[in-house]
Amino acid sequence: MNTLGIESSCDDTGLAIINSDGQIINHITSSQHEIHAKYGGIVPELASRDHVKKFIPLLQVLLEKSAMTMDDINMIAFTNGPGLLGPLLAGASLAKTLGWSNNIPTIEVNHLEAHIYSPMITEKNLKPPFISLLVSGGHTILSSVDDNFHITTLGSTLDDSAGECFDKIARKLNLGYPGGPEISKRSELSNNNKFIFPRPMIKSNDYNFSFSGLKTHVINTIHKLELTDEHINNISYEVQSAIVDTLISKSVEASKNLDIKNIVITGGVSANQKLRKDFSCIKKCKAYFPDVKFSTDNGAMIAYAGFLKTNSSDFKKNFTIKPKPSLTL
Ligand SMILES: Nc1ncnc2c1ncn2[C@@H]1O[C@H](COP(=O)(O)OP(=O)(O)OP(=O)(O)O)[C@@H](O)[C@H]1O
Ligand SMILES: [Mg+2]
């Protein structure tokens, strides 16, 4: 049984096919970064239009690369939210049209759940229970996932997400979009950091985060400077350290308090190399990350979450494949 995954919640058009063992046959992602870069953020109407333009050519390439036709697809999984309405509608329309015209059942996938399980695509031994830290452009959520795949939120950001904090500070530093990778690159060039930024809510005794105060603190610092390349490198270094320290501190606290050793870190910010390196140095926990190419939005994680859902006993109990409706005029 092959599952086609369709991702279009924001600014990445992602398609993938996985087989009945949950192995990826092929995946393809088209990013819209160049389209949105000049606006410093995503323009929803442009995002929707680009998904519509790219879907069919990308699907053709994916099927060709996989030596398949739609006859080889047995299930279509698509992102049903959260995300931008236009891009989500574009993906749902594609999934439903392909499903209806080829008599293939479709399954809705929650985008955040897809991120949370994305390390399992490549880490075949990884299974819940685990602590999940989802750090993306729109969310920063700490949760626990039990062995029945039930997710309990422990805390989340009270304002900006970690990714948003990277993006907004990068914009102020005249770095490109998305900001996370740019800040990460510039922080590697820092050799004499003199800035000290706060680690927000690190002692708040709960599992919530807050990044808007850090953002304001950094922006106020930038306003007081005649910004040089050295400043940009050093500010980038300290911003990255402040965000990474905060994320790790709360996750390790949750792991210790709930006595769950495995921590799964996902979403676009999980591509950050310092976050990966610092987590790997913590001996009390075992950190798992998705393959870097599956950190940001992609079709493989949607196909994989669809695969997990269709293989769950709850789903099998309640799901029947409806026959294709006949058209009578
Ligand atoms: N190497 C990196 N270091 C830090 N942040 C990064 C890195 N790579 C990407 N990011 C950040 O990841 C975010 C994008 O992640 P993702 O694509 O998962 O978000 P999204 O899909 O827009 O949001 P959500 O999943 O919450 O709907 C951006 O904020 C970007 O700056
Ligand atoms: Mg995402």
The 8-class DSSP code of residue 118 comes to G
Write 248-253 long-range contacts (CB < 8 A, 24+).
248/275, 248/278, 248/279, 248/282, 249/199, 249/202, 250/133, 250/142, 250/155, 250/202, 250/207, 250/209, 251/131, 251/133, 251/142, 251/279, 251/285, 252/282, 252/284, 252/285, 253/207
Q: What is the pLDDT of residue 271?
A: 98
Mutate to test the pocket of ligand 1, among 7, 133, 136 (most ligand atoms within 8 A of CB): 136
329: three-class secondary structure by DSSP: coil
The single-letter DSSP state of residue 272 is: -
The helix (H) or strand (E) run that includes residue 310 is helix 299-310
pLDDT tops 70 at residue 283: yes
Report residue 251's pLDDT band, with 50, 70 and 90 as the boundaries. Answer: very high
User: Rounded mean pLDDT of 126-135?
Assistant: 97
Reported as a pLDDT band with limits 50, 70 and 90, residue 320 is: low
CB of 268 within 6 A of ligand 1: the answer is: yes
d(CA 109, CA 116): 12
Predicted confidence band at 319 (pLDDT cuts at 50, 70, 90)?
Answer: low
Expressed in angstroms and rounded, the spacing between residue 205 Cα and the centre of ligand 1 is 26
More confident residue, 36 or 233: 233
Any ligand 1 atom below 6 A from CB of 298 = no
- Residue 167 beta carbon below 6 angstroms from any ligand 1 atom: yes
Taking residues 175-184, report their average pLDDT.
93
Give the number of whichever ligand sits closest to the CA of residue 167.
Answer: 1
What pTM, to 2 d.p., does this model score? 0.93
The full set of domains in the chain, from first to last, is 3-116+296-318 (3.30.420.40), 127-289 (3.30.420.40)
Which segments within 38-162 are labelled E, that is strand? Answer: 75-81, 106-110, 130-135, 140-145, 151-156
Region 218-230: what's the mean pLDDT? Answer: 97
Q: Are 267 and 139 in contact (CB under 8 A)?
A: yes
Indicate if the pLDDT at residue 326 is higher than 60.
no
Q: pLDDT by residue (tens digit) across 30-65?
A: 999 899 888 878 899 999 999 999 999 999 999 999
Q: How far is the CA of 98 from the centre of ligand 2 (A)?
A: 24
